Amino acid sequence: MVYTGKNAAAAEAPEEPRIGVFICHCGTNIAGSIDVPAVRDYAATIPHVVVAQNYAYMCSTPGQNMIKDAIAEHHLTGVVVAACTPRLHEPTFRTATANGGLNPFRFEMANIRDQGSWVHMHDWDGGTAKAKDAIRIAVAKATKLEDLYPMSVPVEHRALVVGAGIGGIQASMDLAAAGIETYLIEKQPTIGGRMSQLDKTFPTLDCSQCILSPKMAEAGRTPGIKLYTLAEIENVEGYIGNFDVTIRRHARGVLTPNEAAAKGIIGGGCTGCGDCSNVCPVVKPNEWEFNMAPRKAIYICHAQVVPLIYTIDFDACVKCGLCITACGTKKAIDLEMQDELFTIKVGTVILATGYEAFPIEQKKEWGYKLYDNVITSLEFERLICASGPTIGHLVRPSDGETPQSVGFVLCAGSRDNTGIGKPYCSRFCCMYSLKHAHQVIEKIPGCRAYIFYMDIRSFGKAYEEFYYRVQNEGAKFIRGRVAQIQELPNKNLIVVAEDTLLGNQVQIEVDLVVLAAAIQPTAETEIVRRQFGVSCSGDKWLLEAHPKLNPCGTTTAGVYLAGVCQGPKDIPDTVAQAEGAASAASIPIHSGHVELEPYYAQCMQNLCAGCGMCTRLCPYSALSMTVVDGRTVMEVTAAKCKGCGTCGGFCPGGAIKMQHFTSPQILAQIDAFFLGGEQ
Amino acid sequence: MTSAKAYKDAALAARLSDRVYRPAEDSDPSFTAEVEKIGGTAAHLCFQCGTCTGSCPSAPRSSYRIRTFMRRANLGMKDVCLNDPDLWLCTTCYTCSDRCPRDLIPTDVIMAMRNMAAKQGIVPKNFLATVNFIYNTGHGVPNNDANRVARVKLGLEPEPETTCKYPEFLPAIRKILEAYGTKQLADKVLSEGQ
């Protein structure tokens, strides 16, 4: 049955509220810790309650039909479901309420599971009493509920992807393929992210650049993708369907061919020839190679960059002008270039801001940055990579010699509750360390690989088989977390750990130690998160809307997550989530409009004194002053209002009404709590 | 009034509520709780990574394995723990506690076990000899002539600012040792010849 907006029964007798209460067992989640029949019998005695029922799974089809049937049979004006959380099942029960012919906003939820049975699991009487209170309060609100109507707003047919690692690239390509113009914003001068720094990928050992570069190139030339590198989000306004995002393009100092053409330089702009870099006198460490290789002040990070446009490091540039001469008639270099700000309008947004290595030098017992031959796994990737600073010849930093024994320290900073490291598992370290062990055994005949591990978490498809393979190749596995590393005068290292399976302390001398450092969100993640109003979990990874059933969405409508910014994951999982996020982000765009919850503020203009103080308090710029019948009063732009209630709580005249959270509704709830109760 | 949710069969409830895996017949679940109470650290959160033994200066020189004691503590192996002479080989340097990734204090688990062992009269003689030193001089390692010469050489007074210089405070220290029964324990065990 389709919701028609008005209940015929309610229209006939609007003065007396008739509430139905439906109590869910949630299997034994609720019924195992709360006396549901007692709660039901109590609910039936609450004023205005005309029917109280209980059922094993209220969210199931029979459960929803109970609600629907009761609305018709008892001419209900309001529905209370005592079950889990609104976040989980408010949409479900609203639909059921609407199917019964009531306005869906006549539904109110009492949370007796997450805030009831689960927290009072061993307190039968206390949990039961609390459930009764929660239902009485919900009934009080239900008696005051009003019909509300969602607002439909059009959705801009464009999307934004923040971060151009493999996740961002995949999401952009999918969106573009679905016919949605997509802005891809990257802070670095090139796209590609962490994956472009890797040598090979587990467990198939295909070369990271070989599978990534074609995707980077395609992302760079797909017409549907508007790529902006060296760019950051400056400001975000708006809401799902209509985000106004201001982008800051940092001064690159070099014009692209298109930009040169726009300036009237025919045949100009950077072609990536590198003549400028050859003459540049300034040498700096290349951050992209973890400072293990040099670069000039005008540079590209590596040979496969997309876009192939040189970049000037203005902090290092001495403005000698040699590059301008070398560039010649292409006139690509502009040493006076300034940052550029521009605003784009998009319907949905995908965040793919990735990760960085935890500063593992904070764990002093492993001696990173103290001992020359202790390196991180990302540095190892560059040292073993054919396009890296050593052209793929693994050397140890202290003397450039080929190591004959390498120690791999797993869980370096992960699974650490001391407050220095990270309490979570970084999830892909086991697998890449197995791959590293394979690589040293393969590349350096006779080289010994020692893997110090607590558990090998080879969870993915063909991962356990890879573990078997590396073990078969001769890697030595020592089950024990490394306690300390000591340096010898010849710069060799003593790795000290307990072989816990043997029960003995072992001290193994190796030439090189690789720390599988924990990962953490990039510094930009926190900034971008605040700009888009996305929540994060305690460990600072961005918070998904539901850990199992909505892993790509966020609690901010229209903003989605892809890749490691949501939590540690390897390349296959990142790509899968990126495709999921692209799909989710395209749904509102393709449907063309979204419905917004009618929880916006309303100004009762007959009460408004026109003081205008609320307009300055509103965090969303949703309020403005207008003149009605010669009086200055406040006006709400409903689509901008998020219903936070800041204005309503402040208004000295009580002229602002928060829909669905009105003062009479809230006061009724408070009264029900303090004045009601079992007689 | 509140009541705990319980199974009707009391024996079944007791068995299901026992969350401790017990490999030996004589293991005692209350031992884990007692160790945690005295030691002030949540020993049951140990995940046996071996960082403690790897950090231990005693481990390469002895049969002492702190991780093994953590495991035994969690399995309630009271008699094994308290009767194992290795219990007394910890130097209490606290390096394991500095490095434990679970932020536990293995050293204090050992200290808790030593406390419990001492209450049962299980203490090595050399520890009790130290008790007597403290009782007699106020020091576990008393001052001696070589030390006095060294101190004078360094420009210090021969006696430090302790009971060495102020023997009038010795009775107070003796009172403490007697009040807690430490002195009596030392005398009893040492006289028995262990």
Over range A252-274, report the average pLDDT.
93
Read off the pLDDT band of B16 (50, 70, 90). low
Which residues of A fall within a CB distance of 8 Å from B47? 415, 454
Read off the pLDDT band of A185 (50, 70, 90). very high
Which pLDDT score is estimated for A397?
Answer: 96
Q: Search chain A and give the residue with CA nearest B6.
A: A122
With an 8 Å Cβ cutoff, are A498 and B51 in contact? yes
With an 8 Å Cβ cutoff, are B49 and A480 in contact? yes
Which pLDDT score is estimated for A676?
Answer: 77
Residues in chain A whose Cβ is within 8 Å of chain B: 32-33, 121-126, 365, 411, 415-419, 421, 454, 479-484, 496-500, 503-505, 507
**Cα distance from B61 to chain A (closest Cα, Å)?**
10
Which pLDDT score is estimated for A4?
Answer: 46
**Cα distance from B88 to chain A (closest Cα, Å)?**
18
Residue B193: pLDDT above 70? no
**Cα distance from B155 to chain A (closest Cα, Å)?**
37
DSSP state of A117: I
Residue A49: pLDDT above 70? yes
Q: Search chain B and give the residue with CA nearest A453.
A: B49
With an 8 Å Cβ cutoff, are B5 and A121 in contact? yes
With an 8 Å Cβ cutoff, are A505 and B68 in contact? no
How many CB pairs (< 8 A) connect A and B? 86
**Cα distance from B167 to chain A (closest Cα, Å)?**
43
pLDDT, tens digit (0-9, with 9 covering 90-100), for A105-158: 999 999 999 999 999 999 999 999 999 999 999 999 999 999 999 989 899 999
Read off the pLDDT band of B100 (50, 70, 90). very high
CB atoms within 10 A of CB A658: 21
With an 8 Å Cβ cutoff, are B101 and A416 in contact? yes
Q: Which residue has the tokens 């599971």?
A: A113
Q: Which of B5, B55, B102 sits opposite A417 (nearest CB)?
A: B102
Please choose, from the candidates A161, A163, A289, the residue with its C-alpha nearest in 3D space to the C-alpha of residue A225: A161
Say how far apart CA B109 and CA B37 lie, in whole Å: 10
Which residues of A fall within a CB distance of 8 Å from B54? 480-484, 496-498, 505
The Cα-based distances of A77 to A41, A49, A62 in angstroms read 20, 10, 21
Say how far apart CA A531 and CA A540 lie, in whole Å: 15
With an 8 Å Cβ cutoff, are A503 and B59 in contact? no
With an 8 Å Cβ cutoff, are A125 and B99 in contact? no
- What does chain B come to in residues? 194
Say how far apart CA B113 and CA B119 lie, in whole Å: 10
With an 8 Å Cβ cutoff, are B50 and A480 in contact? yes
Q: In this structure, are residues A26 and A84 in contact, taking their beta carbons and an 8 Å threshold?
A: yes
Which residues of B fall within a CB distance of 8 Å from A130? none
Q: Which of B5, B54, B65 sits opposite A496 (nearest CB)?
A: B54
Helix/strand/coil for A210? helix
Q: Which of A33, A121, A418 sits opposite B101 (nearest CB)?
A: A418
Average pLDDT, chain A: 94
Say how far apart CA B65 and CA A505 lie, in whole Å: 9
CB atoms within 10 A of CB B89: 18
**Cα distance from A528 to chain B (closest Cα, Å)?**
31
Which residues of A fall within a CB distance of 8 Å from B58? none
Say how far apart CA A71 and CA A64 lie, in whole Å: 11
With an 8 Å Cβ cutoff, are B51 and A479 in contact? no
pLDDT > 70: what percent of chain B?
Answer: 88
**Cα distance from B102 to chain A (closest Cα, Å)?**
5
CB atoms within 10 A of CB A8: 10
Q: Is the dihedral of CA A148, A149, A153, A159 positive or negative?
A: positive
Over range A504-526, report the average pLDDT.
96
Residue A351: pLDDT above 90? yes
Residues 6+ apart with CB under 8 A from A330: A260, A265, A267, A268, A269, A270, A271
Q: In this structure, are residues A46 and A135 in contact, taking their beta carbons and an 8 Å threshold?
A: yes
Please choose, from the candidates B136, B112, B124, the residue with its C-alpha nearest in 3D space to the C-alpha of residue B41: B112
pLDDT, tens digit (0-9, with 9 covering 90-100), for A465-502: 999 999 999 999 999 999 999 999 999 999 999 999 99
Q: Which residue has the higher pLDDT, A13 or A657?
A: A657
Helix (H) or strand (E) holding A284: strand A283-285
Pairing of strands A151-154, A158-162: unpaired
With an 8 Å Cβ cutoff, are A365 and B99 in contact? yes
Residue A640: pLDDT above 90? no
Pairing of strands A298-299, A311-312: antiparallel
Which residues of A fall within a CB distance of 8 Å from B102? 417
Edge-to-edge, what's the strand order for the sheet holding A476-479?
A374-376, A512-517, A405-412, A448-453, A476-479
Residue B4: pLDDT above 60? no
Say how far apart CA A535 and CA A555 lie, in whole Å: 7
Which residues of B fall within a CB distance of 8 Å from A450? none
**Cα distance from A363 to chain B (closest Cα, Å)?**
9
Q: With 0-12 CB in 10 A as exposed, 13-18 as middle and 19+ as buried, what is A2?
A: exposed
Please choose, from the candidates A176, A172, A168, A175, the residue with its C-alpha nearest in 3D space to the C-alpha of residue A192: A168
Read off the pLDDT band of A46 (50, 70, 90). very high
**Cα distance from B97 to chain A (closest Cα, Å)?**
10
Q: Which of A124, A454, A496 sits opposite B5 (nearest CB)?
A: A124
CB atoms within 10 A of CB A527: 13
Give me the DSSP letters along chain B.
Answer: -------SSHHHHHHHH------STT--HHHHHHHHHHHTS-GGG-----HHHHH-SSGGGSS--HHHHHHHHHHT-HHHHHH-GGGGG-----HHHHH-TT---HHHHHHHHHHHHHHTT---HHHHHHHHHHHHHS-SS---HHHHHHHHHTT--SS-TTTTT-GGGHHHHHHHHHHTTHHHHHHHHHHHT-
Which residues of B fall within a CB distance of 8 Å from A421? 101
Which residues of A fall within a CB distance of 8 Å from B56? 505
Which residues of B fall within a CB distance of 8 Å from A124? 2-5
The Cα-based distances of A131 to A31, A81, B9 in angstroms read 11, 12, 28
Helix (H) or strand (E) holding A602: strand A601-603
With an 8 Å Cβ cutoff, are B54 and A480 in contact? yes
Dihedral through CA A28, CA A29, CA A33, CA A39, nearest 10?
Answer: -90
Rg (CA), chain A: 31
Residue A678: pLDDT above 80? no
Residue B12: pLDDT above 80? no
Q: Which of B4, B50, B102 sits opposite A500 (nearest CB)?
A: B50
Single-letter residue type at A480: G
Q: Which residue has the tokens 């459960």?
A: A63
Please choose, from the candidates A594, A572, A575, A595, the residue with its C-alpha nearest in 3D space to the C-alpha of residue A583: A575
pLDDT, tens digit (0-9, with 9 covering 90-100), for A392-446: 999 999 999 999 999 999 999 999 999 999 999 999 999 999 999 999 999 999 9
Q: Search chain A and give the residue with CA nearest B95.
A: A483
Say how far apart CA A258 and CA A659 lie, in whole Å: 51
Maximum separation of any 2 CA atoms in chain A, in Å: 94
Which residues of A fall within a CB distance of 8 Å from B62? none
Residues 6+ apart with CB under 8 A from A432: A202, A377, A516
Which pLDDT score is estimated for A364?
Answer: 95
Read off the pLDDT band of B17 (50, 70, 90). low
Which pLDDT score is estimated for B154?
Answer: 96
**Cα distance from A413 to chain B (closest Cα, Å)?**
9
A448-461 in b/e burial notation, b at 16+ Cβ within 10 A? bbbbbbbebbbebe
- Adjacent-strand bridge partners of A19: A49, A78
Identify from A498, A499, A508 which residue to disrupt to test chain B contact, counting B C-beta atoms within 10 A and taking the largest count. A498
Which residues of A fall within a CB distance of 8 Å from B55? 365, 483-484, 496
**Cα distance from B107 to chain A (closest Cα, Å)?**
15
Residue A13: pLDDT above 50? no
Among the listed ranges A447-461, A580-594, B177-191, which one has the minimum average pLDDT value?
B177-191
The Cα-based distances of B92 to A36, B87, B107, B115 in angstroms read 55, 11, 6, 14
Q: Which of A479, A482, A505 sits opposite B56 (nearest CB)?
A: A505
Pairing of strands A348-351, A559-561: parallel
Taking the complete model, does pTM exceed 0.95, yes or no?
no
A45: tokens are 């005695």
Pairing of strands A374-376, A405-412: unpaired
Say how far apart CA A178 and CA B116 lie, in whole Å: 71
3-state DSSP helix/strand/coil % of chain A, to nearest 5: 30, 25, 45
Residue B194: pLDDT above 60? no
Q: Which of A125, A419, A484 sits opposite B2 (nearest CB)?
A: A125
The Cα-based distances of A616 to A167, A532, A600, A621, B183 in angstroms read 39, 20, 17, 8, 75
pLDDT, tens digit (0-9, with 9 covering 90-100), for A653-676: 999 999 999 999 999 999 999 987
Which residues of A fall within a CB distance of 8 Å from B53? 480, 483, 498, 500, 503, 505
pLDDT, tens digit (0-9, with 9 covering 90-100), for A275-291: 999 999 999 999 999 99
Give me the DSSP letters along A389-445.
Answer: TTTT----TTT-PPPSEEEEEEEESSS--SSSS-SS--SSHHHHHHHHHHHHHHHST
Which pLDDT score is estimated for A556?
Answer: 87
Single-letter residue type at A504: N
**Cα distance from A418 to chain B (closest Cα, Å)?**
5
Say how far apart CA A95 and CA A99 lie, in whole Å: 6
**Cα distance from B117 to chain A (closest Cα, Å)?**
24
- Adjacent-strand bridge partners of A448: A405
Q: Search chain A and give the residue with CA nearest B51.
A: A483
With an 8 Å Cβ cutoff, are A505 and B59 in contact? yes
Residue B20: pLDDT above 80? no
With an 8 Å Cβ cutoff, are A498 and B68 in contact? no
Identify from B1, B46, B53, B58 which residue to disrupt to test chain A contact, counting A C-beta atoms within 10 A and taking the largest count. B53
Give me the DSSP letters along A543-572.
Answer: PPSBTTTBSSB-SSTTEEE-GGGGS---HH
Say how far apart CA A409 and CA A527 lie, in whole Å: 32
